């Protein structure tokens, strides 16, 4: 224990006991919902865990970036970005020419990566994560791109630098999926999975069952903040393919890339087809499946007719996942009405995990070279 303690360097800006310094890269729907949570509903939960979070940096693409080692005023950050303004006047320190410069210099213990999903390459998020882990920052992300594209490499990097890489929000927002398997199913192998995991597609199909057009339903999903920055990623099945790879890679030890997924989306589905399925007691839903075929693990995405009453016959933006295990048979998790607050909770939950790991190992927070 004494050796581990000796490794912790004293910070120049004094940290209070139990305080975690957080840098937010991405301040869109999820980042802002998380910030609003910190200002309101998370307060009590943080206090009860004796955990203090200090947001020392926020970076965006077009709204600039701000770093302040003493802690940023989140109310001001929210007001500026929500009014379409810029964060630059809140910045204290050397100029930040890029998001990567932010990651490399922000005086934080943990990088929370919340930039938009790039379903084709997982970039630049993967580069951000590499840079953060390489300098000894823990990483929390809801961006499934890096997990789908570079999971084993990033995990190795995290291990080498003795950091945590947590990503509960990558699939089903804050609903425990990765935590469920890692904490509650000791010794279980995941043999396969099936799920309706794309809230936008499920919302659109539900609204089409009710007579709305696909375009109108997509606009509703965008207004609710649940659609990807480009909703074609949702409707064409890319988002589900990336989630399928994330599940297969983390839970089944696969190395599947989204391009290898056999994928069909819901773009061409006609309203008559959706309504006729309902009349026959079935629902069309975009289903992602992962299965083992000998030593290979295969992920597929396609619309399927699901009998009403089946756990996957979700409504609205609900999401459902069934895991097939060797020791526990089939188990399922269900998220009612997925929304950005639930996505933001995933960040809170990962940070709380980080805090408890720090407490359990007694090693405190990582020693990032620049984080002084
Ligand atoms: N929305 C949900 O319900 C939900 C649920 C689970 C997971 N997720 C995942 O969480 C992540 C964030 O989602 P979101 O809905 O918050 O997205 P969003 O509203 O599109 O916000 C993305 C944020 O990232 C910033 N950004 C994008 N590219 C950047 C870059 N190259 N460098 C620096 N900043 C960059 C944007 O900056 P500007 O503001 O300047 O454009 C914006 O602040 C995504 O990966 C998404 O897949 C979202």
pLDDT band at 307 (very low <50, low <70, confident <90, very high): very high
Give yes or no: 243 in active site. Answer: yes
Residue 168: C-alpha distances to residues 16, 134, 165, 352, 365 (Å): 27, 21, 10, 12, 20
Pocket test for ligand 1, best of 29, 175, 200, 203 (most atoms within 8 A of CB): 29
* Arithmetic mean of pLDDT, 184-190: 97
pLDDT at 12 over 60: no
pLDDT digits 0-9 by tens, 120-133: 999 999 999 999 99
pLDDT digits 0-9 by tens, 91-108: 998 999 999 999 999 999
Catalytic residue among 4, 50, 144, 243: 243
Distance from Cα 192 to the centre of ligand 1, integer Å: 29
Instruction: Give me the torsion for CA of 287, 203, 140, 68, rounded to 10°.
Output: 160
Q: CA geometry: angle at 338 spanning 152 and 99, to 5°?
A: 50
pLDDT digits 0-9 by tens, 344-356: 999 999 999 998 8
Nearest CA to ligand 1 atom 5: 343
Nearest CA to ligand 1 atom 2: 226
Q: Could you give the CA distance from residue 192 to residue 230 in angstroms, rounded to a whole number?
A: 29
pLDDT band at 17 (very low <50, low <70, confident <90, very high): low
Q: In what order do the strands lie in the sheet with 296-307?
A: 262-263, 296-307, 282-293, 190-196, 319-325, 330-335
Sequence-separated (6 or more) residues with CB below 8 Å from residue 252: 190, 191, 192, 290, 292, 297
Phi-psi region of 219 (alpha: psi -120 to 50; beta: other; left: phi over 0): alpha
pLDDT at 143 over 50: yes
Which residues does ligand 1 sit against, CB inside 6 Å?
A: 26-31, 59-63, 99, 114-117, 124, 142-143, 169, 173, 225-226, 228-229, 340, 343
Q: Could you give the CA distance from residue 90 to residue 80 in angstroms, rounded to a whole number?
A: 10
pTM: 0.91
Query: What is the bridge-based pairing of β-strands 19-25 and 110-113?
Result: parallel
Instruction: Give me the torsion for CA of 35, 39, 43, 47, rounded to 10°.
Output: 90
pLDDT digits 0-9 by tens, 234-284: 999 999 999 999 999 999 999 999 999 999 999 999 999 999 999 999 999
Residue 55: C-alpha distances to residues 20, 73, 107, 237, 254 (Å): 8, 8, 10, 35, 35
């Amino acid at each position: 224990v004494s050796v581990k303690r000796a490794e912790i360097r004293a910070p120049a800006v004094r940290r209070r006991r139990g305080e975690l310094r957080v840098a937010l890269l991405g301040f869109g729907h999820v980042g802002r919902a998380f910030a609003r949570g910190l200002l309101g509903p998370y307060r009590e939960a943080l206090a009860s865990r004796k955990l203090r979070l200090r947001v020392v940096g926020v970076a965006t693409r077009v709204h600039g970036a701000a770093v302040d080692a003493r802690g940023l005023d989140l109310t001001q950050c929210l007001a500026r970005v929500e009014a379409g303004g810029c964060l630059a006047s809140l910045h204290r320190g050397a100029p930040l020419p890029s998001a990567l410069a932010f990651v490399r210099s922000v005086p934080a213990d943990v990088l929370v990566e919340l930039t938009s999903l790039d379903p084709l390459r997982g970039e630049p998020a993967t580069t951000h994560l590499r840079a953060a882990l390489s300098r000894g920052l823990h990483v929390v992300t809801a961006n499934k791109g890096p997990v789908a594209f570079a999971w084993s490499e990033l995990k190795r990097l995290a291990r080498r630098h003795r950091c945590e890489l947590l990503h509960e929000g990558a699939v089903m927002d804050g609903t425990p999926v990765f935590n469920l398997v890692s904490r509650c199913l000791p010794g279980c192998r995941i043999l396969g999975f099936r799920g309706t995991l794309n809230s936008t597609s499920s919302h659109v199909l539900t609204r089409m069952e009710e007579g709305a057009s696909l375009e109108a339903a997509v606009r509703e999903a965008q207004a609710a903040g649940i659609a990807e920055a480009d909703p074609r990623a949702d409707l064409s099945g890319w988002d589900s393919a990336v989630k399928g790879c994330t599940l297969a890679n983390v839970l089944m030890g696969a190395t599947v890339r989204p391009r290898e997924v056999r994928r069909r989306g819901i773009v061409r589905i006609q309203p008559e087809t959706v309504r006729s399925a309902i009349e026959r007691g079935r629902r069309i839903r975009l289903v992602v499946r992962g299965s083992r075929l000998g030593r290979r693990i295969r992920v597929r995405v396609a619309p399927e007719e699901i009998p009403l009453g089946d756990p996957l016959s979700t409504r609205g933006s609900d999401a459902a996942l069934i895991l097939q295990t060797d020791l526990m048979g089939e188990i399922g998790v269900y998220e009612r009405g997925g929304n950005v607050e639930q996505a933001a909770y995933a960040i809170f939950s990962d940070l709380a995990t980080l805090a408890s790991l720090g407490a359990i190992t007694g090693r405190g927070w990582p020693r990032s070279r620049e984080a002084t």
